[in-house]
């Protein structure tokens, strides 16, 4: 039997804006198993980012349940959430979000610093994961000295360095040209092949085709959830 890394039940998020209540998510039931590769789609404002933030423990739901690796997340306090983000979640953002003045190596070490890993081990692991994303020769470069695709690789390396249960990517190719985007997608495919569980948000159909499951949101609800083999040759 497959083990669910992520399981949600009635996951909801409401925002109160003055007198108005915005229902960003209205009860999402979903299970994602180990080594699944899920693309989250849907029109703008459908709740994709909101869902990612809840899954990534950056935010807490207003209603519903969420189990990450069997742990009920909804009732954890701030520090416990931080620890889960540190160990179980790897986030990749559309805008890379790297420290502009730090080297690639230091950027990748960051989660390990907050995890309390010693300096020596930090460096070894950061180097190793940078090699894995193909940046062995760019370790001491700063973000301003890297191309967009390389920056996103650094961000991916940072997300992977703690060997997270799931890699979350909110439009990782949104700021990249199509060729560089394709390179990043190839990297994701590789990671998936080596066992990584991935959840990614995208607007682009051909990006979604890399995944083997596509969930589409509409107005805070799941509109469709289809599993089929990836349609892109790796």
Partner 1 sequence: MSLRDAIRLAFAQIRAQKLKSFFSVIGVVIGVMFLIAVVTIVEGMNRYMEEDFARSLFGLNTLTVSRQPSMMMNPSDEQWREWRRRPRLRTEDAEAIREQLTVPARVAIESSSTSRARSVRGEEVSGVWLSAASPEIFRIREWDVAEGRLFGPLEAEAGLPVVVLGSETAETLFGSLNPLGRTVRIRDVSFEVIGVLESQGTLFTMSLDNRAIAPASSPMGRMTNPRGVVDNILVKADDPTALELAKMEVEAIMRVRNRLRPDQPNNFELETQDQSMAFWATMSRILFIAFPALVGIALVVGGMVIMNIMLMSVVERTQEIGMRKSVGARRRDVLLQILVESGTLSFVGASIGIGLGLGLAKLVEAVSPMPAAVGYHWLALAAGMGIVVGVLAGLYPASRASRLDPVVALRAE
Residue 165 near residue 86, CB atoms below 8 Å: no
Among the candidate windows 17-25, 31-39, 147-155, 189-197, which touches ligand ATP by CB under 6 A? Answer: 17-25
Number of H helices, E strands in the chain: 7, 10
- Closest distance of CB 197 from ligand ATP, Å: 21
Question: Residues 48-67: x/- map of binding to ligand ATP (CB under 6 A)?
Answer: xxx-----------------
Question: Residues 19-48: x/- map of binding to ligand ATP (CB under 6 A)?
Answer: ---x-x-----------------x-xxxxx
Q: Given 3-state DSSP classes, what are the helix, strand and coil percentages for the chain, each rounded to the nearest 5?
A: 35, 30, 35
By a kind-dependent CB cut-off of 5 to 8 A, residue 110 interacts, out of partner 1, Mg ion, ligand ATP, none, with: partner 1
Query: How is residue 46 annotated by DSSP?
Result: S
- If one asks whether residue 175 binds Mg ion (CB under 5 A), the answer comes out as no
- Closest distance of CB 178 from ligand ATP, Å: 19
Closest CA to 97 of 201, 175, 197, 198: 175
Give residue for tokens 């299970």.
31
CA angle 29/161/128 to nearest 5° reads 145
- Closest distance of CB 119 from partner 1, Å: 9
The first and second tokens of residue 7, run together, are: 């399981």
By a kind-dependent CB cut-off of 5 to 8 A, residue 22 interacts, out of partner 1, ligand ATP, Mg ion, none, with: ligand ATP
Among 12, 93, 133, 208, binds partner 1 (CB under 8 A): 93
Residue 52 near residue 89, CB atoms below 8 Å: no
Q: Which of residues 13-72 bind partner 1 (CB under 8 A)?
A: 53, 56, 58-59
The first and second tokens of residue 27, run together, are: 């009860």
**Would you mind telling me the total number of residues written for the chain in this entry?**
234
Backbone phi and psi for residue 104, each to the nearest 5 degrees, phi listed first: -55, -45
Binders of Mg ion: how many residues, by CB under 5 A? Answer: 1
Those residues with Cβ within 8 angstroms of residue 96's Cβ, 6 or more apart along the chain or in another chain: 143, 148, 151, 152, 154, 155, 175
Binding residues (CB under 5 A) for Mg ion: these are 49
Binding residues (CB under 6 A) for ligand ATP: these are 15, 17, 22, 24, 42, 44-50
Binding residues (CB under 8 A) for partner 1: these are 53, 56, 58-59, 78-79, 82-83, 85-87, 89, 91, 93, 97, 99, 101-102, 110-111, 113-116, 158, 162
């Amino acid at each position: 039997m497959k083990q669910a890394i992520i399981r949600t039940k009635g996951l909801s998020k409401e925002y109160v804006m003055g007198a108005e209540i915005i229902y960003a998510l209205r009860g999402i039931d979903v299970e994602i198993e180990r080594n699944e590769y899920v693309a989250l789609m849907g029109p703008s404002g459908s709740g994709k980012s909101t869902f990612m933030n809840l899954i990534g423990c950056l935010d807490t739901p207003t209603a519903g349940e969420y189990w990450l690796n069997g742990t009920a997340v909804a009732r954890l306090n701030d520090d416990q959430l931080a620890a889960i983000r540190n160990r179980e979640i790897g986030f990749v953002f559309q805008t890379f979000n790297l420290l502009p003045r730090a080297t690639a190596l230091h950027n990748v070490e960051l989660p390990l610093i907050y995890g309390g890993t010693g300096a020596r081990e930090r460096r070894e692991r950061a180097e190793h994961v940078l090699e894995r994303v193909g940046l062995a020769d760019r370790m001491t470069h700063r973000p301003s000295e890297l191309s967009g695709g390389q920056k996103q690789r650094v961000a991916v390396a940072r997300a992977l360095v703690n060997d997270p249960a799931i890699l979350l990517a909110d439009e990782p190719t949104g700021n990249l040209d199509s060729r560089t985007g394709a390179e990043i997608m190839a990297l994701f495919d590789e990671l998936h092949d080596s066992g990584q569980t991935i959840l990614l948000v995208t607007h682009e159909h051909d990006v979604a085709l890399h995944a083997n499951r596509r969930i589409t949101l509409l107005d805070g609800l799941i509109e469709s959830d289809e599993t089929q083999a990836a349609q892109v040759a790796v």
